[in-house]
């Protein structure tokens, strides 16, 4: 499976911190948490329950064609939101910001709908990612370039159900 990068306990502690941060930042408001399927599903369920506010949730799904560990650079919307986000405080919940291509695409799509605010919360970000340029406000962990699996993240749809994050080492 490869080296454990972040244990279940480390992830839980950081998710609690981000949840507290969101609770403070959105006090008195009713933020809409938008989970980017499928990779962010585990993070989303834990994060939503770590926010002590009347949050609402919705889901959006994108896919980028490619191999198990490499994206093709073409992002496609495969499931849109069910709710209107005009005048809503939207928090986009992502699994990992790598090149930022997915995020750029989603931001453009959501901003066009006129939300009151749009912030990005990602569990992981590559050290190489331009987080300021991409407008990412909340980051769980910054990690190097290794391909990682677990806690929602997959390699060819496997390993999403691991409770921890590990570096992916393909077996032949
Ligand atoms: P970006 O568009 O290059 O930022 O890629 C973001 C998407 O690629 C993420 O939402 C993931 O679905 C996928 N991805 C990038 N790196 C990894 C990884 O290390 N493990 C699993 N999925 C990854």
- Compute CA distances 27 → 23, 40, 55, 89, 165, whole Å: 6, 24, 11, 12, 31
Among 5, 70, 96, 129, the mutation site with the greatest number of ligand 1 atoms within 8 A of its Cβ is: 96
- Compute CA distances 87 → 31, 83, 90, whole Å: 11, 12, 9
What secondary structure letter does DSSP report for 150? B
Residue range 4-167, CATH number: 3.40.50.2020
Reported as a pLDDT band with limits 50, 70 and 90, residue 68 is low
Determine the atom of ligand 1 nearest the C-alpha atom of 148.
Answer: 19
* Range with the poorest average pLDDT among 68-77, 147-156, 159-168: 68-77
Whether the predicted pLDDT of 110 surpasses 80: yes
Where are the domains positioned within the chain? 4-167
User: Residue 43: how many CA atoms within 13 Å on its side-chain side?
Assistant: 32
Write down the mean pLDDT value for the chain. 94
- Dihedral sign, CA of 93, 95, 99, 105? negative
149 three-state secondary structure: strand
118-127 mean pLDDT: 98
* C-alpha 150 to ligand 1 mean position (Å): 12
Please tell me the predicted confidence (pLDDT) of residue 105. 94
Q: Length of the chain, please?
A: 172
Please tell me the predicted confidence (pLDDT) of residue 69. 67
Reported as a pLDDT band with limits 50, 70 and 90, residue 154 is very high
Which residues are within 8 A (CB) of 58 and not within 5 positions of it... i.e. 6 or more apart? 32, 33, 34, 35, 81, 82, 83
Residues lining ligand 1, CB < 6 A?
39, 71, 94-103, 147-148, 153-154
Whether the predicted pLDDT of 112 surpasses 80: yes
* C-alpha 115 to ligand 1 mean position (Å): 25
Reported as a pLDDT band with limits 50, 70 and 90, residue 26 is very high
Whether the predicted pLDDT of 5 surpasses 90: yes
* C-alpha 28 to ligand 1 mean position (Å): 33
* Residues known to be catalytic: 98
Please tell me the predicted confidence (pLDDT) of residue 64. 74
Biggest CA pair distance of the chain = 53
* Nearest Cα residue to atom 3 of ligand 1: 99
Number of H helices and E strands in the chain, helices first, is 4, 9
Please tell me the predicted confidence (pLDDT) of residue 16. 98
**Model pLDDT for residues 84-95, shown as the tens digit of each residue:** 999 999 999 999
Please tell me the predicted confidence (pLDDT) of residue 63. 86
Whether the predicted pLDDT of 1 surpasses 80: no
Name the more confident of 75 and 9: 9
């Amino acid at each position: 499976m490869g080296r454990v990068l972040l244990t279940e306990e480390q992830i839980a502690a950081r998710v609690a911190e981000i949840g507290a941060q969101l609770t403070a930042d959105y006090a008195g408001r009713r933020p809409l948490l938008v989970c980017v399927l499928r990779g962010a599903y585990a993070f989303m369920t834990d994060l939503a329950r770590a926010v002590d506010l009347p949050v609402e949730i919705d889901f959006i799904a994108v896919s980028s064609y490619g191999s198990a560990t490499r994206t093709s650079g073409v992002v496609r919307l495969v499931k849109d939101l069910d709710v209107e986000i005009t005048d809503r405080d939207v928090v986009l919940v992502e699994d990992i910001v790598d090149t930022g291509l997915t995020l750029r695409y989603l931001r453009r799509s959501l901003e066009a709908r006129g939300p009151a605010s749009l912030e990005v919360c990602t569990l992981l970000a590559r050290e190489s990612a331009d987080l300021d340029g991409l407008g990412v406000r909340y980051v769980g962990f910054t990690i190097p370039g290794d391909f990682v699996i677990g806690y929602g993240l997959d390699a060819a749809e496997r390993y999403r159900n691991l409770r921890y994050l590990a570096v992916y080492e393909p077996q032949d």
